[in-house]
Structure 1
Amino acid sequence: MIFASAINGEQKPSIKKNSVLVLNFKNPILDSYTEAESSIFDLGDTKNVLLTDVLNAIQKAKTDENIKGISIEVDELQAGTTQADNIRDAIEDFKKSGKFVYAYGNNMSQKSYYLATIADKVFLNPVGMIELKGMSTEVTFFKDFADKYGVGIDIIRHGKFKAAVEPFMRNEISPENKEQLSTLLNDIWGNISNKIKTARKLDENSFKTAVDSLYGYIPEQAIKSKLADQLVQKSEYYNFIKKNLKIDTDKDFNQISIGKYINTLDNKNNDNNEIAVLYASGEIFNGDEYSNIHSDKYVKYIKDLADDDNVKAVVLRVNSPGGSGNASDEILFELQQLKKKKPLIVSFGDYAASGGYYISMAADKIYSEPNTLTGSIGVFGMITNFKELANRNGIRSDIVSTNANSQFYSPISGAAPGTIPMLTKSVESTYKRFVYFVTQNRKKSFEQIDAIGGGRVWSGTRAKELGLVDELGSIQQAINFAASKAKLKDFNVQNYPAKMSKFEEFFKNTQEEEIAAKVISKKIGKENYTIFEKVTNPKFNNGVQMSLPYKITIK
């Protein structure tokens, strides 16, 4: 079994004897190319790195006689928590070969340090630091802002834990939301901190003191607290590696970056036996755009895979906080049709919540990472109007209509009298439909799912305990199970959707809306732009939504 290489059409670099594989991730690690952020102003040939390629490269290096060890040299790991877990697990497996793994850091982020602790030794720059501080999440609220400037927001939701709309309803985190966020953070931090403690051979009290006291920020204290092993300059670190390789310190040693090593992977194909990995990454919308998860595009992808006789099984890799209820339902239906023809296994990434969880209900089996954010079984509707703001500035409107609710909604006049009652019924109906599909897939009663639903978000670990997923495991385990269910021993794994060509990418990014979005996002910041979109983008105000609370960003 091999993965299709992420980089095609380039001359493969040679691997010299006695080489060290350097993990120096300079670009974000992606589940799918649909997550890539590109710009028409970027004329460089940026190489995005796929997680599957990274894992396959580390697996190959384990048995590659030219690779003698791994050097982890990354201060800021641009990857999700579950991706960091997968890479860390791959390195742990690599160590079974007996080859060395060392790590060096200047100013290491918490995620980078988490990855680095799998190394045999952790080296830190004498004036460097380790960001080890625990986890938090921050929620920004806009109720007072909306009231001050005359922005009206009508909200309908089902589930006391459905916090996606809280930023527009309140000025502080609700007790229910605080409860779920606290449970979620403690679950994820518990998984991560236990691995760090085990790797660094630290007891609970010593580790908690080091974290609470921010000892990692002071190099000498980091050594004293056993968070790192030695304070050295980079050249001294390289001398340590040379000594291990039995090379004189006045000579260079052979290094190959993870990016170049990925380019050496064989791209063999067994066309008759293919496991297709369909990546559902991003928010869920109606439409046929390439980025995120647009229902028209994904319906076509799914039908093509269902009709392709060479595809023997499909793994759906979900990394989504949800989105449109209608679009989610379209995708779920097509996945159910596909499942009638061939095995469908689901693997969860960082997020598989609300609509992301909903589309997974066609699965024969669901694998979740321990640190996945999942569940959020709930729905809501939100309508924004600017009536008061317009009136304050001398703008008014009048309506002529044929029926009671002909003017269903207007940004100036707001919602018609029957709009909110109708949306309330729609939200309740959609919630019941959501729970129904969960009961069918998870083989539980409506009451059982409703008790753990209501929009509540769970960690993958907790979801397994509650029966919302089948197994805790990686995408590789999901692929292996798919192969066994399809009775395949020799097979090829192919990723979908395919990477967009430079030509297609250029014309996609020259669309007026794309340019405007990129400029605004650049000006106000990515997180603020996400909130801005929730209020202004029709996609987020089009019907009932199955969406994760705001978006939970864990720091």
Structure 2
Amino acid sequence: MSAAGPTGSVAGPASGSPSSAWATMAELGKAVKKGGGRGLALVGAGAVAGSVAMAVARYQAAKVDRSLPSEFVLELPLDRLHVVDAVDTSPLALLRGDTNQVELPKAVAALRRAAADPRCRGVVAYLGGRENLGGLATVQELREAICGFRAAVAAAVTASGRPPARTAAWAASFGEAGGSGMGAFLLASACEGVHMQPSGLLGLSGLESRAFFVRGLLDRIAAEPEFFAREEFKSAANTLTERGFTAAQRENLGALVGDMAEQMLTCMAGGRGVELAALREAVAAGPLLPGPALARRLLDGTAYRDEVQAAFAASEQALKEEKARQGRRHRRRKEDTRMARVPLDRYIRATELQAAAGAWRGHPAGWLAGTPLEPLALALRGRLQDGVAAQRSPVGPLENRLAVAGQPKVAVVTLAGTIVQGPVQPGPQQQGQSIDASKVVGQLATLLEDPDVKAVVLRINSPGGSALASDSIHHEVTRLRAAGKPVVVSMGDVAASGGYYIAAGADRVVAQPGTLTGSIGVIAGKVNVGRTLESVGVNTDAVATAPNADLLSPFSSLRPEQRAQVEAMVDSVYDDFLGKVARGRNRPLSEVRQLAKGRVYTGRQAHELGLVDELGGLDAAVRSAKQLARLPEDAAVVEHPPRRIPFLVQLLRRQAMGGGEGGGEGGAGGASLGRELLGAAASAVVAGSGAGAGMGLGAGAGGVQGMAAALAGALAAGGPQARAAALQASQAVQLLSSGEPQMYSMEAAMLASV
């Protein structure tokens, strides 16, 4: 069967052809005859239920289609929406208020569709805190999408007379309240016009990387950290063992921050049409008030949000259509001539539903469309599962089309979070998302057995984690390659340590220039809190059946022979890491050893050193996968597994979006509530016997996780930078408390937000 065309339809027999109809009816007859009366009843019930579901989906698509006006401005409300690789649907995300999330691949695809949509007359990006934008790689990928929108619209205007569309960016302030404005302004510089509120501040004052060190606190409570790292740049445990940056850590961070800043300044200067030297002077003088920013041509003007919206005026015809469509619900003031505005998340939902419903029209059983027999016919042909997936969620980050059985396709698997072996129980100590290796192994094994999947793209956004879990996923990657299915890795903001371990097994690695990767190294150890408990009158005793039963116990120090055993274990894991990178990258082991040592690189640095094959985003990775698998450019791309967003999360997201321009306040309030609850949990840990004793007891009860929660809660109100650094320190503490060898990059996690 040939690949789908531009509209997402699938080539095959004509929908009304006699041969297709006869084959379908024959299959129906066999099923009814075999099942008898009971089977017929089940078939009838299933057909009715399927038809109702189909009718509802089509009705929703038609309703949303009608809700898109004949001309509109596509709004990117990035002061409200959090850009992520994969939506976090955990209960803790609801607790933190992280319901306003949009997936980066969907945002990029939406901008591509908008460029070809003649109804879209412009794009306006509303920018807020740096936490909403993610890391530098995310900003770069969004920036490329906006530049692509501008180029595609310009070409369409020339070639087909498509109505022109402008791009603009607005922020109340770039970097207010202690946050850096570098990332937001980098994205804004891709737009034709950049505006800021008259009372705002242009926070172009460079980048800073700050870490927290708790060795002094551990000494005060008589806790003893014992860790072993390979090699000197592997610094995840430094937050526990040191009182400040080591020379190696400072050297690595300096190189990373310097290269990231250079990338940002170069793009900003090009986007704003100013000399790089002049921009450096502005950064040295920053933050800037509106007057100096305008004088340096970094802003096009000062305006409030509604004034930027008013710059996109609706035509008289569009205003008349809106009034006729809304009828009695029409409330627009006569003097309000602003063009209709469609938020990004609404546009994504509308266009995906349209594509999913439209995909059915080209199906060989299309002559049954709209009848109760349609779902049954699709089920008998083995295609109902793909059809339902297409109705419920997008079937790919690049194309929204029905991936039917028998059609070659590329599967995209997203791995976002810390790598762990087995599911993580939600709780206040959990920081962010996690990658369950046991689940990922099952997903990749499914793709291995699927004859229609010809290539796999792994989208990795992870600072690493468990060495064991990373190795499990790496093994499945090599199995896919051995079966003749190319694997291409697309790196997000960070794919370091365990994240790079997985990537090293792929055929090809694609990263953004600002991706944080490398950190080829291992760390293991524990924190001994035995003396901490003794200091508050708590003694422990144990009976063991073997000499090393207490090897990972947090209540005893490592004996010399145990230290040697842990050292040997770390060396073994590190040597295995080096060997897999050398084989995967086809490099001599001696070269890999020199590049490793736990050092973190930007994507641009890694590309120059041969650790990354290509600079680009997910689009580039998918193109590469199709080329390696010798698939046509329009081959189907499917998301595996199709993500299901729970109803409660959808409800909260719709309520937040329904708040219009005030929607961002709801998200901020939810996040504030989450931080308050984390702070309350920390207070519970340290209550009673004083901070030191409380932390010690918490650590004794669960490794050092009580201390991790206390650390996060105590610094939750310290501003964006303090909060981010505290959460990363807390994450490192939790990982290292397991005693298992870890492939985790503290530097990459720290710099994941620009």
Output the TM-score relative to the length of structure 2: 0.67
State the AA in 2 paired with 1:454.
K
Q: Give how far 1:154 is off.
A: 0.7
Q: Pick one of 248, 253, 268 that aligns with 1:196.
A: 268
Aligned to 1:241: 312
Matched, 1:448 2:586: no
Aligned to 1:51: 104
Whether the 8 Å CA contact 2:229–2:235 is kept in 1: the answer is no
Whether the 8 Å CA contact 2:237–2:736 is kept in 1: the answer is no
Aligned to 1:552: 750
1:399-458 CA-partner distances (Å, limit 9, x unpaired): 444443333232222334432211100111111110101111112111111111100000
Whether the 8 Å CA contact 2:256–2:602 is kept in 1: the answer is yes
Gaps of 5+ in 2: 9-55, 155-164, 176-180, 320-333, 357-400, 426-432, 651-676, 683-708, 717-722
Matched, 1:17 2:70: yes
d(CA) in 1 for partners of 2:216, 2:75:
50
Matched, 1:104 2:170: yes
State the AA in 2 paired with 1:305.
L
1:112-159 CA-partner distances (Å, limit 9, x unpaired): 221111111112221122221111110111111111111111111111
Gaps of 5+ in 1: 507-514
Instruction: Please show how residues 422-501 of structure 1 align to structure 2 within 5 Å.
Output: 422-489=565-632, 490-501=634-645
Whether the 8 Å CA contact 1:464–1:470 is kept in 2: the answer is yes
Q: Give how far 1:531 is off.
A: 2.8
Matched, 1:264 2:350: yes
Going from structure 1 to structure 2, the CA distance change for 1:303 and 1:519 (only over 3 Å counts) comes to farther
Going from structure 1 to structure 2, the CA distance change for 1:325 and 1:517 (only over 3 Å counts) comes to farther
Aligned length: 541
1:197-216 CA-partner distances (Å, limit 9, x unpaired): 11112213321121111143
- Tell which deviates more after alignment, 382-391 or 452-461: 382-391
Aligned to 2:419: 284
Q: Give how far 1:55 is off.
A: 0.5
Matched, 1:133 2:187: no
Going from structure 1 to structure 2, the CA distance change for 1:495 and 1:440 (only over 3 Å counts) comes to same
State the AA in 1 paired with 2:588.
S
Aligned to 1:532: 730
- Tell which deviates more after alignment, 354-363 or 412-421: 412-421
Going from structure 1 to structure 2, the CA distance change for 1:518 and 1:367 (only over 3 Å counts) comes to farther
Q: Give how far 1:497 is off.
A: 4.0
d(CA) in 2 for partners of 1:354, 1:495:
25
Instruction: Please show how residues 145-160 of structure 1 align to structure 2 within 5 Å.
Output: 145-160=217-232
1:59-113 CA-partner distances (Å, limit 9, x unpaired): 0111111111111222235122211111110110111113311122211242222
Whether the 8 Å CA contact 2:93–2:99 is kept in 1: the answer is no
- Tell which deviates more after alignment, 12-21 or 293-302: 12-21
d(CA) in 1 for partners of 2:630, 2:258:
40
Going from structure 1 to structure 2, the CA distance change for 1:434 and 1:72 (only over 3 Å counts) comes to same
Q: Give the match's secondary structure for 2:490.
A: strand
d(CA) in 2 for partners of 1:436, 1:23:
44
Going from structure 1 to structure 2, the CA distance change for 1:523 and 1:326 (only over 3 Å counts) comes to same
Matched, 1:251 2:337: yes
d(CA) in 2 for partners of 1:548, 1:45:
24
- Tell which deviates more after alignment, 317-326 or 41-50: 41-50
State the AA in 1 paired with 2:143.
R
Going from structure 1 to structure 2, the CA distance change for 1:475 and 1:435 (only over 3 Å counts) comes to same
d(CA) in 1 for partners of 2:350, 2:94:
30
d(CA) in 1 for partners of 2:571, 2:553:
24
Going from structure 1 to structure 2, the CA distance change for 1:438 and 1:415 (only over 3 Å counts) comes to same
Q: Give how far 1:396 is off.
A: 2.7
Q: Give how far 1:529 is off.
A: 4.5
Whether the 8 Å CA contact 1:3–1:53 is kept in 2: the answer is no
Q: Give the match's secondary structure for 1:241.
A: coil
Q: Give the match's secondary structure for 2:509.
A: strand
Aligned to 2:139: 84
State the AA in 2 paired with 1:404.
P
Q: Pick one of 49, 69, 85 that aligns with 1:31.
A: 85
d(CA) in 2 for partners of 1:421, 1:251:
75
d(CA) in 1 for partners of 2:206, 2:598:
26
Q: Give how far 1:45 is off.
A: 11
d(CA) in 2 for partners of 1:252, 1:422:
70
Going from structure 1 to structure 2, the CA distance change for 1:232 and 1:371 (only over 3 Å counts) comes to same
Whether the 8 Å CA contact 1:533–1:540 is kept in 2: the answer is no
Structure ID, larger Rg:
2
Going from structure 1 to structure 2, the CA distance change for 1:45 and 1:264 (only over 3 Å counts) comes to farther
Going from structure 1 to structure 2, the CA distance change for 1:487 and 1:75 (only over 3 Å counts) comes to same
Aligned to 2:528: 385
Aligned to 1:73: 126
Aligned to 1:509: none
Q: Give how far 1:289 is off.
A: 4.6
Going from structure 1 to structure 2, the CA distance change for 1:40 and 1:531 (only over 3 Å counts) comes to closer
Q: Give the match's secondary structure for 1:287.
A: coil
d(CA) in 2 for partners of 1:517, 1:3:
51
Q: Give how far 1:374 is off.
A: 0.5
Aligned to 2:478: 336
Output the TM-score relative to the length of structure 1: 0.90
Going from structure 1 to structure 2, the CA distance change for 1:103 and 1:408 (only over 3 Å counts) comes to closer
Cα RMSD, aligned residues only: 2.9
Going from structure 1 to structure 2, the CA distance change for 1:244 and 1:122 (only over 3 Å counts) comes to farther
State the AA in 1 paired with 2:145.
A
Whether the 8 Å CA contact 1:323–1:540 is kept in 2: the answer is no
Q: Give the match's secondary structure for 1:293.
A: strand
Going from structure 1 to structure 2, the CA distance change for 1:501 and 1:421 (only over 3 Å counts) comes to same
d(CA) in 2 for partners of 1:270, 1:532:
42
Q: Give the match's secondary structure for 2:439.
A: helix
Aligned to 2:150: 95
Q: Give how far 1:347 is off.
A: 0.8
d(CA) in 2 for partners of 1:245, 1:112:
35
Greater fraction of residues in strand: 1
Aligned to 1:511: none
Q: Give how far 1:42 is off.
A: 5.8
d(CA) in 2 for partners of 1:517, 1:348:
33
Whether the 8 Å CA contact 1:17–1:66 is kept in 2: the answer is yes
Q: Give how far 1:367 is off.
A: 0.5
State the AA in 2 paired with 1:549.
M
Going from structure 1 to structure 2, the CA distance change for 1:43 and 1:433 (only over 3 Å counts) comes to closer
Going from structure 1 to structure 2, the CA distance change for 1:419 and 1:19 (only over 3 Å counts) comes to same
d(CA) in 2 for partners of 1:122, 1:495:
35
d(CA) in 2 for partners of 1:243, 1:225:
32
Going from structure 1 to structure 2, the CA distance change for 1:183 and 1:530 (only over 3 Å counts) comes to closer
d(CA) in 2 for partners of 1:343, 1:43:
38
d(CA) in 2 for partners of 1:43, 1:130:
29
